[in-house]
Copies of this chain bind each other. A is one copy, B any other.
Amino acid sequence: MPWTTVQVEKLDNFFIMGDHTGDRVLTYRDALREALDQSLARDPRVFIMGEGVDDVAGVFGTTKGLKEKYGANRVFDTPIAENSMTGIAVGAAMAGLRPIFIHARMDFLLLSLDQLVNHASKWCYMFGGKVKVPLVVRTISARGWGSGAQHSQCIQGMLMNVPGLKIVAPATPYDAKGLMISAIIDNNPVLFVEHRWLHKTTGYVPEEVYSIPIGKGVIHRRGEDVTIVAVSYMLVEALKAAEKLQESGISAEVIDPRTLKPLDEKILVESVAKTGRLIIADTGCKTGSVASEIAAVAAEKAFHFLKKPIKRVCCPDTPTPTSDVLEKAFYPTAEDIFAEAVSLVRE
């Protein structure tokens, strides 16, 4: 049992409405599993590889039973050799397959950046569009229970600087399923950013196969006074903050960009045009974060709408401490978003 399960099991069961309604409620984890299942079923080119993808736990349940259903050729365990395994997935993609490569922790992505950045992301451009790399790399960031500095990183900020790569970071079960399907059918390398604390959230998810456009954000809650852009798990915190702000008479607009690269600049600028205030919440360390990039875009393209300084709510620039006390101090929460919003609106 992966240790973060200890922590995740203690979380509240957070329900995210999403932009879809219906009568079928799934967890994020099951939504992902369904997207993989349906993709394996409909497209023989799709396969899944990674450490432990075929084991009993099935990557926190997201690949559970898939080997039994689709065979050991299409869902298989790999040696612990992230860089080459990524390159092998890339090669298979070049030959026309659609690999999904899974890192049980985002930290392990760091071992594979040569293949992901120097190779996968550049191949299409470097060869004038003649070879494509339709690859999905799933990474899961952990949090809590002393995951520590080497098992809890959220380094999506680093990857923003990589041309040729797409990055999606769905926060709801609906988006998880839809964006997984989009990532699989996309002809480019797509980094699929998950957060362990999202696996348990629930929401409405249609049974049929559907995709969500890569590059399009979504407004989760409409508001007038302040825009909160929330990345990945921070959407949960942002929605909680918005609820509380409402009680204090502050109307917050909550936006989930869903795709981090290429970013939906339109949804951002339009919201800031309305509210004039911008808070960006990211799961990673502040400096060089996705929040920094969004702030830069806003400062460039929505400057004249801004009434107040842009605020980033992120982890501080320290490795993740293991101590529970320090973890608590390290991770930003709804409280921090709430406090920033209040000070932006009231002061």
From 277 to 312 in chain A, residues with beta carbon under 8 angstroms from any chain B beta carbon are: 284-285, 287-289, 291-293, 295-296, 298-301, 303-304, 306, 308-312
A319 within 8 A of B: yes
Number of interface residues of A (CB under 8 A): 54
CB-CB under 8 A for A319 and B114, given A160-B288, A289-B161, A303-B309: no
Which of B122, B159, B289 meets A319, CB within 8 Å?
Answer: B122
Total identical chains: 2
Assembly CA distance A158 to B110 (angstroms): 12
Asked if residues A159 and B300 are in contact (CB atoms below 8 Å), the reply is no
A317 within 8 A of B: yes
Asked if residues A150 and B122 are in contact (CB atoms below 8 Å), the reply is yes
The proximity string for A residues 14-55 relative to B, scoring 1 for CB distances below 8 Å and 0 otherwise, is 000000000000000000000000000000000000000000
A161: chain B residues within 8 A (beta carbon): 155, 157-158, 284-285, 287-289
CB-CB under 8 A for A158 and B162, given A306-B303, A319-B121: yes
A58 within 8 A of B: no
Asked if residues A157 and B126 are in contact (CB atoms below 8 Å), the reply is no
A88: chain B residues within 8 A (beta carbon): none
A284: chain B residues within 8 A (beta carbon): 161
A311: chain B residues within 8 A (beta carbon): 300
Assembly CA distance A149 to B261 (angstroms): 19
Q: How close is A344's CB to chain B, nearest CB, in angstroms?
A: 11
Asked if residues A158 and B288 are in contact (CB atoms below 8 Å), the reply is yes
A85 within 8 A of B: no
A164: chain B residues within 8 A (beta carbon): 318-319
Asked if residues A110 and B107 are in contact (CB atoms below 8 Å), the reply is no
A70 within 8 A of B: no
Asked if residues B288 and A299 are in contact (CB atoms below 8 Å), the reply is no
Asked if residues B261 and A287 are in contact (CB atoms below 8 Å), the reply is yes
Assembly CA distance A322 to B288 (angstroms): 28
Which of B111, B150, B261, B301 meets A309, CB within 8 Å?
Answer: B301
A125 within 8 A of B: yes
The 8 closest A-B pairs by CB, nearest first: A160-B288, A161-B288, A303-B309, A295-B296, A299-B299, A292-B296, A157-B161, A122-B319
* New contact pairs (16) apart from A118-B150, A288-B293, A300-B309, CB-CB < 8 Å: A110-B113, A110-B117, A110-B118, A111-B118, A117-B155, A122-B149, A126-B148, A158-B159, A162-B285, A163-B319, A164-B319, A261-B288, A293-B296, A295-B300, A296-B299, A298-B299
